[in-house]
Amino acid sequence: MNTHHPAPVRRPLGSQLLEALPAALRKLDPRELAGSPVMLVVEVGSVATTIMAVVDPSTLAIGVALWLWLTVLFGTLAEAVAEGRGKAQAASLRALQQETTARRVRGSSDQLKYTGNLATLQVDRVPSTSLRAGDVVVVEAGERIPGDGDVIEGVASVDESAVTGESAPVIRESGGDRSAVTGGTVVLSDRIAVRITSEPGQSFVDRMIALVEGSERQRTPNEIALNILLTALTAIFVVVVGTLYYLADYSGTNPSWVVLTALLVCLIPTTIGALLSAIGIAGMDRLVRRNVLAMSGRAVEAAGDVDVLLLDKTGTITYGNRRATELLALTGVTGVEIARAALLSSLADETPEGRSIVTLVKGGLETAASQPPPPPEEGSLVAFSATTRMSGIDLPDRVIRKGAASAVAQWAHSTGVPAAETAGGELTVLVDGVSASGGTPLVVAERVGERPARILGVIHLKDVVKPGMRERFDEMRAMGIRTVMITGDNAITARAIAEEAGVDDFLAEATPEDKMALIRKEQGGGRMVAMCGDGTNDAPALAQADVGVAMNTGTMAAKEAGNMVDLDSDPTKLIDIVEIGKQLLITRGALTTFSIANDIAKYFAILPAMFVVAFPELDVLNVMHLSSPESAILSAVVFNALVIVALIPLSLRGVRYTPSSAADLLRRNLLIYGVGGLVTPFVGIKLLDLVISLIPGV
């Protein structure tokens, strides 16, 4: 059931258009068009010209009427195609909702203090659709989880591929930040008790279906504002064309209402009017394709406005595990000596740090053309403990210890090393150097037989920044977005990593309250804040942030608090979300500019055509040398309709967005869509005229 991850293969636009045709025809209902005054005016114009064409048939009237209808249809088609893209996903999600039988535990969840064997609980078998928030159900291996909820008892591996597209099963367990389960997913092993958190019909999958189908789409603030501007433009042009009849009458010429309607439709911003809702639907769809569910379109738009991005260090900026990056030997100790000691002490060490030491040393020794020592067979591993703060290995001939500087020093003293040898001097310099760079120093010492221990050197462990992060943060900066790294580390470590990763700021030793305070402070200064989080303690901050992206692995509380959920649980996705938000606005702005710039050429086509009979001198304005007035008018109308179809792919895909400063973006888009919008129709109308002039009677 890998439906939307990775993105499915695109079918050609032609077949998508054909498929969307019935829906597009249904959308011609004027009530459906009421939300878009621009298209409503076109439809009224289509009806009017059709009547005129019936009453007084002429090639021009019939042509105009036909193409005005096509203009409306192309608009509804764009919307239908955008919606159609979500249909397939919705169908596969619906399959998750098939009714199952749930085993509901008797009694309310508050009374449930049960910690024994889940199989002994008393249950009722009820249909999954009758479950309400607060009910507790038991789910076993092979069963479908009947509704959204939190695991309150037990651990299980769950197949969530139907929702996330990720085929590897995930662990869900009670308590902690991995307790949320989604209705419709399948338990693969073990048995869990789940407290249902959603009412029937309002589950996560329900919302997903509504989102991908676009049925619950609410228009976003910027879209509403743009619609108002488009309506105002339409109103102006209605007045312009309406009064033109009377003013022309004064001038002794009477343009026909067919021609005036054609002029009106060409002038009002039909291009953007027709594509506006398709752009919005496609924008949401792009997010869904990246496995992000936005609970509202408002949140997507807000993402484009974000000024500050709060990113957790672990897992987002760094890999999350400290890795050995360097071995620093003291004077008198050879590189091979420390390498061998580090390797021996780590071979059996299964912690990520231990393994990273092995990786580092093996690489180093191989290049040094020396064979790594065989794994010790009779050695016994000394695991790390909080009291000794050391780990190591006891071999028959020697003892190796690695650990925090003070702990190793203490151990060395106990073997008879004088204090002066470990305090101060070269070792301290090395240890402090590593700490200052944000790393963790691990001192390695060796004791051969019963002699006093010998300190060999320092292993440099550090948090490794994911590759490419610096570039992404540079892009963010260019876009005017400040990145703040949130970490529980101390300030020194945090600063070093912040510098390495290239973030603008950091919040060290951060508690959830600190995070919240930071968000409030930024918002108080008028900035929009985005963050992601997964734990229950992140929930207040997620709710406070303007864009809160909850990880799908997180708790239900976090998912409810945020306004987006990332199904891949990838915190870096936040950056993609911001880009999608921006792209959405840019596409609208670019097509509006294009639409308005188009009008200039249309005037040059239609105005001379309208008045050239009364004022032959106006032929000078016929700069495109269109063959006849009828052909000129028809060419403009046809161009106006065809440009909508031509721009459907762009409105679905979105205008290409490259992170850069506002001034650069503006210059680029103005050049493409402003100047392009000015020039394109001159060429297009001329070409259409060459074809249309061949039609007899035009």
Partner 1 sequence: MSSLAPALGQVAVLVAALALAVPFLGRYLAHVYTSPRHLAVERASYRLVRVDPDADQHWRTYAMSVLGFSLAGVLVLYGFGRLQSHLPLSLGFPGLPADGAWNTAVSFVTNTDWQWYSGEAATGHLFQMSGLTVQNFVSAGVGMAVAAALARGLARSLQDGRVGNFWSDLVRTVVRVLLPISLVAAVLLVALGVVQNLLEPQVVHTLAGGVQHVTGGPVASQEAIKELGTNGGGFYNANSAHPFENPSPLTDVFEIFLLLVIPFAMAWAFGIMVGDRRQGGAVLAVMVTLWGAGVALLTWAEMAAPGTAPGLAGGAMEGKETRFGEAASALFAASTTGTSTGAVNSMHDSLTAPGGGVALFNMMLGEVAPGGVGSGLYGLLMLAVVTVFLAGLMVGRTPEYLGKKIGQREVTLVACYVLTTPVLVLVGGAIGLTASDGLAGLLNTGPHGLSEGLYAVTSASNNNGSAFAGITSSTPFWNTLLGLCMLFGRFLPMVFVLALAGLFAGRQKLPPSAGTLPTHRPLFVVLLTGVALVVVGLTYVPVLVLGPIVESLS
DSSP H stretches of helix in 149-189 = 161-164
How many Å apart are CA 571 and CA 235, to the nearest integer? 46
CA–CA separation, 161 and 146 (whole Å):
16
Cβ closer to partner 1: 344 or 481? 481
Provide, rounded to whole angstroms, the least separation between the CB of residue 593 and partner 1: 6
Among positions 462, 482, 573, 686, the unique one binding partner 1 when judged by CB under 8 A? 482
Count of residues making up the chain: 698
Residues 525-564 that bind partner 1 (CB under 8 A): 525-527
- At closest approach, how far in Å is the CB of 607 from partner 1? 5
**What kind and span of H or E run contains 126?**
strand 123-127
Among 28, 62, 248, 295, binds partner 1 (CB under 8 A): 248
Question: Using the 8-state DSSP alphabet, how is residue 616 labeled?
Answer: G
Tell me the closest approach of the beta carbon of residue 655 to partner 1, in angstroms: 9
Q: If DSSP codes are grouped into helix, strand and coil, which group holds residue 326?
A: strand
Q: Using alpha carbons, list the distances in angstroms from residue 624 to 128, 632, 679.
A: 68, 9, 12
Q: Catalytic: 349?
A: no
Per CB under 8 A, the segment of 95-103, 107-115, 197-205, 240-248 that binds partner 1 is 240-248
Cα 222 to the center of its chain, rounded Å: 19
Among 67, 639, 657, 682, indicate the residue that binds partner 1 (CB under 8 A): 657
What residue type is 545 in one-letter code?
A
Question: Which two structure tokens, joined as six digits, stand for 676?
Answer: 């392009």
Q: Is 480 a residue that touches partner 1 (CB under 8 A)?
A: yes
Binding residues with partner 1: total (CB under 8 A): 71
The least distance separating partner 1 from the CB of residue 651, rounded to whole angstroms, comes to 14
Query: In the set 359, 363, 661, 690, which binds partner 1 (CB under 8 A)?
Result: 661
Please state, in angstroms and rounded to a whole number, the distance separating the CA atoms of residues 75 and 157.
47
The radius of gyration computed from the CA coordinates of the chain, to the nearest angstrom, equals 34
Mask for 616-655, x = binds partner 1 (CB under 8 A): -xx-xx----------------------------------
Q: Is cis: bond before 6, omega within 30 of 0?
A: yes
Sign of the CA dihedral with 232 first, then 237, 242, and 246 last: positive
Tell which one of 665, 685, 692, 698 touches partner 1 (CB under 8 A).
Answer: 665
Is the CB of 272 or the CB of 561 nearer to partner 1? 272
Pairwise CA distance, residues 655 & 592, whole Å: 12
Kindly tell me which of 470 and 527 has the beta carbon lying closer to partner 1: 527
Q: For residues 645 and 70, give the distance between their C-alpha atoms in angstroms, rounded to a whole number.
A: 10
Of positions 134, 221, 363, 418, contacts partner 1 by CB under 8 A: 221
CB 424 → partner 1: shortest distance, Å?
48
**By CB under 8 A, residue 669 contacts partner 1:** yes
User: Which residue has 């060395």 as its token pair?
Assistant: 412
**Nearer to partner 1 among residue 554 and residue 677 (C-beta):** 677
Which CB, 242 or 375, lies closer to partner 1? 242
Part of the chain binding partner 1 (CB under 8 A), chosen from 16-24, 198-206, 436-444, 662-670: 662-670
Contact between 662 and partner 1 by CB under 8 A: the answer reads yes
Among 112, 176, 186, 198, which Cα is nearest to 156's?
Answer: 186
- Element (H or E) spanning 486, and its range? strand 482-486
User: Helix, strand, or coil here: 290?
Assistant: coil
Contact between 267 and partner 1 by CB under 8 A: the answer reads yes
Q: Does 298 bind partner 1 (CB under 8 A)?
A: no
35 binds partner 1 (CB under 8 A): no
Among residues 148, 150, 312, 349, the one annotated as catalytic is 312
Contact between 226 and partner 1 by CB under 8 A: the answer reads yes
Residue 472 CB, shortest distance to partner 1, in Å, is 15
Distance, in Å, from the CA atom of 162 to the CA atom of 184, rounded to the nearest integer, reads 8
Separation of alpha carbons 647 and 651, rounded Å: 6
Q: How far apart are CA 168 and CA 157, in angstroms?
A: 10
Residue 481 makes contact with partner 1 by CB under 8 A: yes
Residue number with CB closer to partner 1 (392 or 681): 681
Q: Minimum distance between the CB of residue 522 and partner 1, rounded to whole angstroms?
A: 10
- Nearest-CA neighbor of 146 among 87, 180, 210, 194? 194
Q: Pick from 1, 34, 141, 247 the residue near partner 1 by CB under 8 A.
A: 247
With contacts defined by CB under 8 A, name the span among 103-111, 403-411, 478-486, 637-645 that binds partner 1: 478-486
Question: Is residue 222 part of the contact set for partner 1 (CB under 8 A)?
Answer: yes
Helices then strands (H, E): number in the chain? 24, 22
Q: How far is the CB of 281 from partner 1 (least distance, A)?
A: 17
Site for partner 1 in 672-691 (CB under 8 A): 673
Across-strand partners of 309?
Answer: 483, 530
Q: Which is nearer to partner 1, 138 or 226 (CB)?
A: 226
Which listed residue (95, 235, 613, 687) binds partner 1 by CB under 8 A? 235
The DSSP-derived string for 494-529 is HHHHHHHHT-SEEETT--HHHHHHHHHHHHHTT--E
Site string for partner 1, 132-171 (x = CB under 8 A): ----------------------------------------
Rule CB under 8 A: choose which of 1, 91, 171, 224 binds partner 1. 224
Separation between Cα atoms, residue 323 and residue 317, nearest integer Å: 14
Q: Which residues contact 693 (CB under 8 A, 6 or more apart)?
A: 626, 627, 628, 631
With CB under 8 A as the contact rule, which of the stretches 229-237, 325-333, 347-355, 488-496 interacts with partner 1? 229-237
In the complex, the smallest distance separating the C-beta of residue 579 from partner 1, rounded to whole angstroms, is 8
Q: Which residues of 101-127 are buried (b: 16+ CB within 10 A; e: fewer)?
A: ebbbbeeebeebeeeeebeebebeeee
Q: Is 305 in the site for partner 1 (CB under 8 A)?
A: yes
* Contact set for partner 1, span 582-621 (CB under 8 A): 582-583, 585-586, 588-590, 592-593, 596-597, 599-600, 603, 607, 611, 615, 617-618, 620-621
Round to the nearest angstrom and report the end-to-end CA distance of the chain: 56
Catalytic residues: 312
